[in-house]
Structure 1
Amino acid sequence: MTYRRGVGGLGRAALPSMTLLRELTDQIVLDTVFERAPITRAEIAQATGISKPTVSEAVRRLEGAGLLLPAGAQTGRQGRVGTYYKVAADAGFVLAVALDSTEVRLTAADLFGTPFHETAAPPAGSGRPEDAAEQLRTMVREALARGGDARGPLLAVGLSLANPVDPETSAVVALPETPHPAGLFRPRSALAGVTDAPLLVENDINLAALAERWHGAAREAASCAYVHIGAGMGMGLVIGDELVRGARGMAGEIGYLGGSPGRAGDRHGFARAVAEGFATAGEPGPGGAAAVEAARTILDRAAGGDAAARAVVAREGRTIGEAVAAVCAVVDPELVLLGGPIGAHPALLEPVRDTVADLAPLPPHVRTGTLAEHASLQGALTQAIHRARTDLWSRANS
């Protein structure tokens, strides 16, 4: 809070300037049109509690900036006829990209989240950073061409990566022990000269947690821990609408909670042990995507009643549940969601939930996420839309 010095010392808080009040009004009005269009000025005033004259001035500014357009006259009522308003079709669009070790996916969408262009491809080359950069440039250029002049400018790009991201610099943090070691990839450098739209770079599991909070199973939860189990293992923690990233973007890297038996120095051993633990008892399992497929085969067999597979799932569910219980003892989330190609399997939910109930001080609800493999891309898209909408109203006041 800002104070001004008055007679006798510290005075009352300084009142907001008229410019700030006008900008806040414009943002509220624009957000309301996004949520409820088509809508009249009188309906905006009723929904927001802002006076009708003030709403009319805000609509005039936003219309003059090319952000709002008339959408027809209100009919079927007595009295003064109102005009409906909507967001201009050429106000702009956003891109969302999800890049991991098995696939690169891109979605281009309008500011309501409706896609108009989607594409997916295996990672180019042999996973080298320069190959990833060229593939990203190519896909973004194609999306820009699909957007064209009719949709207006590209306003934001959301990028999901399977590595931690430094919250201060948005630099990708290299973690060679994980299944996704391409830590030298620099997204901002890759898109330099292609677009100057804001680039929002975030870890894929963090984005999946946000997507579940905004659109999925955690919409009603005040706090949520999203636990991803696949070729790697990690967690996204959301308190309210705030993502907990940590000082260097490493919060939630629960794959480092312990090492694998007999593998001294294997710092990412817990995540690998979970994936490989679904292999035949007593034999080393495969790594990476092969470990995921082996785990899903065991889970499918367990769901079908196979006794040996059920024993493996019970054992691995106990191991995962112990890690979740440790997280609960530290952060006490209201809800824990299981996700990822292994974590989202229905057969895993019960043993994890039972273990958490046994061990956690006050057990949270444990459920399976609802957005499946599209959670990270959905999170990147929503984050880009939020940024684009926030930036839009400033154009009316520039």
Structure 2
Amino acid sequence: MNERAVFAEIFKLGKVSRPELAQATGLSKPTISMALADLERARLVRPIGLRTGNAGRAALLYEIRPQAGWVLAVDVGREFVRLALADLVGDIAARRDEHRKGGETPGELVAWLAGLARELVDEAGVDLADITLTVFGTPGIHDKETCSLQLAPNLPGWGRPGAIELLAGVAGEAPYLVENDVDLAAVGEGAYGLGQGMAHFALVWIGTGIGMGIVIDGKLYRGYQGAAGEISYMPVGEGDPLVNRGRGMLESVASADGVVALATRLGMRGVTSAKDVFDAARAGDDVARQVVAAEADHIAHALAGVIAVLDPEMVVLGGGIGAQAGDLLIGPVADGLRDLVALRVPMIRASTLGTEAVLLGAMAVGLTKARDLVFERAVAQAPPG
């Protein structure tokens, strides 16, 4: 227990001295010294020199040994896959961003990811066997009873029972986790973005799809079936039958395809993406501005329901539309909410993490769990007595 407490504090504080650890943990200095000696023998921490410049004796500093564990983070998106290999302190040793061709079978996608994983470990100078944990961020909901992905139309074939088990082939013998991509984006926002230090916030992802990650009391909230935040199915807007195709009502009108469909119906020509619409609105196009106003109205009505239930301190807009069109949407959304919510409108912000949010969330989850895994392995391998 003492070693775990000391290990956790070094993880939290970074470079730290024995007196600082004693103050942070409440343990005596002799106990700290014994715990550090054990952790150093287990190759989990290392001394890194003296802190100088202060009066009195220079303090010996310790830090987590970066190579004590490795985390592979994987973001499987609609258009891209992104992979990063990081050491136990979170420094990225190798990275790949690759465009998906789309339509891959589960076996083909896993084989591709496995090849990219091998490239990463080769670049980092480690082996697949050195990976402590792999975290996959995917669309949809991981059904643990059937080992399948539900509500993930962009990953054909992954709804079959047992499909998730194929991911074991990506990184050798390393254990792995599968998390919803928007949930991971919320974790990333809390660890590295606007949600740092905030106990209650929601990240609303608006792009090719729509979803929400919820943080309550500083922890990710998943719900009973892991489906908390599936706001694409909120009954907002009239629904677009041309876009719907199994999507929820909100997603059919407020996703990227919904924006393009509305712009086309209103007479805009040559529109192939939501970005085209937002760029035209910035340039003063009247029809594009009507589309933006409709999008802001849909988002405001959806957020009114979210705010009434969750009462967040902040709502972060992420995704290709939420983050990149925040300059056009945040003002109208906040104005609309003032007429829709009972109390004060929470802060509405555009994510600063962009396309990195899911990968960073996977990294944050992986580092926390990998810390526990390497500690437990070290304890299991320690000689008795």
Structure-2 separation of matches of 1:213 and 1:170: 30
Relative to structure 1, the CA distance from residue 75 to residue 352 in structure 2 (aligned partners, 3 Å threshold; closer, same or farther) is closer
Instruction: State the one-letter code of the partner of 1:328.
Output: I
Matched, 1:58 2:59: no
Stretch deviating more after TM superposition (77-86 or 243-252): 77-86
Relative to structure 1, the CA distance from residue 53 to residue 312 in structure 2 (aligned partners, 3 Å threshold; closer, same or farther) is same
Structure-1 separation of matches of 2:102 and 2:192: 34
- What is the aligned partner in structure 2 of residue 330 from structure 1? 309
Match of 1:343 among 308, 322, 327: 322
Gaps of at least 5 residues in structure 1 are: 1-22
Structure-1 separation of matches of 2:149 and 2:158: 6
Alignment of 1:102-251 (within 5 A): 102-123=79-100, 126-149=103-126, 153-166=130-143, 168=144, 171-175=147-151, 178-184=153-159, 186-192=163-169, 194-251=171-228
> Looking at CA atoms only, which structure, 1 or 2, has the larger radius of gyration?
1
Instruction: State the one-letter code of the partner of 1:38.
Output: K
**Structure 1 position 294, deviation (Å):** 2.5
**What is the CA deviation profile of residues 188-247 of structure 1, one whole-angstrom value per residue up to 9, with x for unaligned ones?**
323248422221210111100111112111223221111111111111111123222122
Residues 101 and 127, structure 1, Cα contact 8 Å, conserved in 2:
no
Structure-2 separation of matches of 1:54 and 1:175: 51
RMSD: 2.8
- What is the aligned partner in structure 1 of residue 61 from structure 2? 84
Aligned length: 368
- What is the aligned partner in structure 2 of residue 14 from structure 1? none
Stretch deviating more after TM superposition (134-143 or 52-61): 134-143
3-state DSSP class of the match of 1:34? helix
Structure-2 separation of matches of 1:27 and 1:261: 54
**Structure 1 position 260, deviation (Å):** 1.8
- What is the aligned partner in structure 2 of residue 382 from structure 1? 364
Stretch deviating more after TM superposition (184-193 or 64-73): 184-193
Gaps of at least 5 residues in structure 2 are: 381-385
Instruction: State the one-letter code of the partner of 2:275.
Output: R
Return the TM-score normalized by structure 2. Answer: 0.86
Structure-2 separation of matches of 1:300 and 1:388: 43
Structure-2 separation of matches of 1:333 and 1:280: 32
Instruction: State the one-letter code of the partner of 2:376.
Output: S
3-state DSSP class of the match of 1:279? helix
Aligned-pair identity in percent equals 35
Match of 1:69 among 30, 38, 46: 46
Relative to structure 1, the CA distance from residue 265 to residue 170 in structure 2 (aligned partners, 3 Å threshold; closer, same or farther) is closer
Matched, 1:360 2:341: yes
Structure-1 separation of matches of 2:213 and 2:330: 18
Stretch deviating more after TM superposition (345-354 or 368-377): 345-354
Structure-1 separation of matches of 2:92 and 2:28: 35
- What is the aligned partner in structure 2 of residue 7 from structure 1? none
3-state DSSP class of the match of 1:278? helix
Structure-1 separation of matches of 2:17 and 2:201: 37
Structure-1 separation of matches of 2:222 and 2:376: 28
Relative to structure 1, the CA distance from residue 390 to residue 75 in structure 2 (aligned partners, 3 Å threshold; closer, same or farther) is same
Relative to structure 1, the CA distance from residue 182 to residue 372 in structure 2 (aligned partners, 3 Å threshold; closer, same or farther) is farther
Structure-2 separation of matches of 1:108 and 1:116: 6
Residues 206 and 318, structure 2, Cα contact 8 Å, conserved in 1:
yes
**Structure 1 position 94, deviation (Å):** 1.0
**Structure 1 position 169, deviation (Å):** 5.3
Residues 29 and 44, structure 1, Cα contact 8 Å, conserved in 2:
yes
**What is the CA deviation profile of residues 25-77 of structure 1, one whole-angstrom value per residue up to 9, with x for unaligned ones?**
21221233234443322232133332101111110110111112222245556
Residues 121 and 128, structure 2, Cα contact 8 Å, conserved in 1:
no
Residues 73 and 359, structure 2, Cα contact 8 Å, conserved in 1:
yes
- What is the aligned partner in structure 1 of residue 233 from structure 2? 256
- What is the aligned partner in structure 2 of residue 372 from structure 1? 354
**Structure 1 position 283, deviation (Å):** 4.1
Structure-2 separation of matches of 1:110 and 1:261: 46
3-state DSSP class of the match of 1:139? helix
Matched, 1:273 2:248: no
3-state DSSP class of the match of 1:27? helix
Stretch deviating more after TM superposition (134-143 or 112-121): 134-143
- What is the aligned partner in structure 2 of residue 3 from structure 1? none
3-state DSSP class of the match of 1:90? helix
Stretch deviating more after TM superposition (181-190 or 327-336): 181-190
- What is the aligned partner in structure 1 of residue 383 from structure 2? none
Relative to structure 1, the CA distance from residue 261 to residue 298 in structure 2 (aligned partners, 3 Å threshold; closer, same or farther) is closer
